[in-house]
Amino acid sequence: MSWVDQGFIAFDTETTGVDVVTDRIVSAAAVEFRGGVEVDSREWLIKVDIEIPDGASAVHGITNEMSQSQGLDQTEALASIREFLVSRNLPVVCFNSQFDRKILDSNLERVGLASLTGVVDICPYVIDKQMDKFVKGTAQRRLQPTVARYGLELNEADWHGALADSRITGLLLLAQQGRYPQLFASEPTELAQSLVLWREEQDASFKAWLAKQPPR
């Protein structure tokens, strides 16, 4: 039995922006999978201490009024998120963990909580880029077109909701397990180590490609 069947947590955030140091998590969701099916889930709406830009609200639908009137206390919410992710001792799967894990750690540390150091980090985005290198266009690597290439669907209205995006990320990992079973035969820590190296190679390759482009 693969570690995927034993269990993992799919996690997603919606935020005030894309800066992992200064922006805040507005909402988050975690979905626990065991035996290939969802067994538990949590969702958090957070009362943030900065303004949510209109552009961010347009993406995820969460306004300043919603955050302030319906959101949980920031420290309380972040502590709850951390407890959910750490207490189950399972790998955490984020579609683009380079963003979600970094902004979560930054938000945790800002309110005096420990980061997720030691929690195994699995990134389907890096897996997809490593195993299918001939997808054309960076836009086709986003979550929606990526899951479509694995035969998965999500209602249009649900995209950019943390809970729906977490669920589809979990289903994406299961689809990747079916397509690339050799990747999931070892321990999750081994795959996580490979993902770090693959991301470094992918980033270096992208930078080299950019350097070859003619100036605009």
CA distances from 61 to 30, 122, 161 (A): 19, 27, 8
- Residues with Cβ < 8 Å from 169, sequence gap 6 or more? 10, 11, 12, 93, 94, 95, 124, 143
State the pLDDT at residue 215: 82
Domains along the sequence of the chain with CATH: 3-211 (3.30.420.10)
Cβ burial, residue 39 (10 Å; 0-12/13-18/19+): exposed
State the pLDDT at residue 201: 93
* CB of 91 closer than 8 Å to CB of 37: no
User: Poorest-confidence range of 10-24, 116-130, 198-212?
Assistant: 198-212
d(CA 95, CA 126): 8
Q: How confident is the model at residue 205 (pLDDT cuts 50, 70, 90)?
A: confident
d(CA 24, CA 49): 8
Helix 124-131 × helix 188-212 angle, to 10° = 60
Share of the chain above pLDDT 70, in %: 98
Q: Is the pLDDT of residue 157 over 60?
A: no
* CB of 142 closer than 8 Å to CB of 159: no
Q: How confident is the model at residue 158 (pLDDT cuts 50, 70, 90)?
A: low
Mean pLDDT value across residues 15-22: 96
Mean pLDDT value across residues 175-180: 97
Render pLDDT for 48-102 as a digit per residue (tens, 0 to 9).
Answer: 999 999 999 999 999 999 999 999 999 999 999 999 999 999 999 999 999 999 9
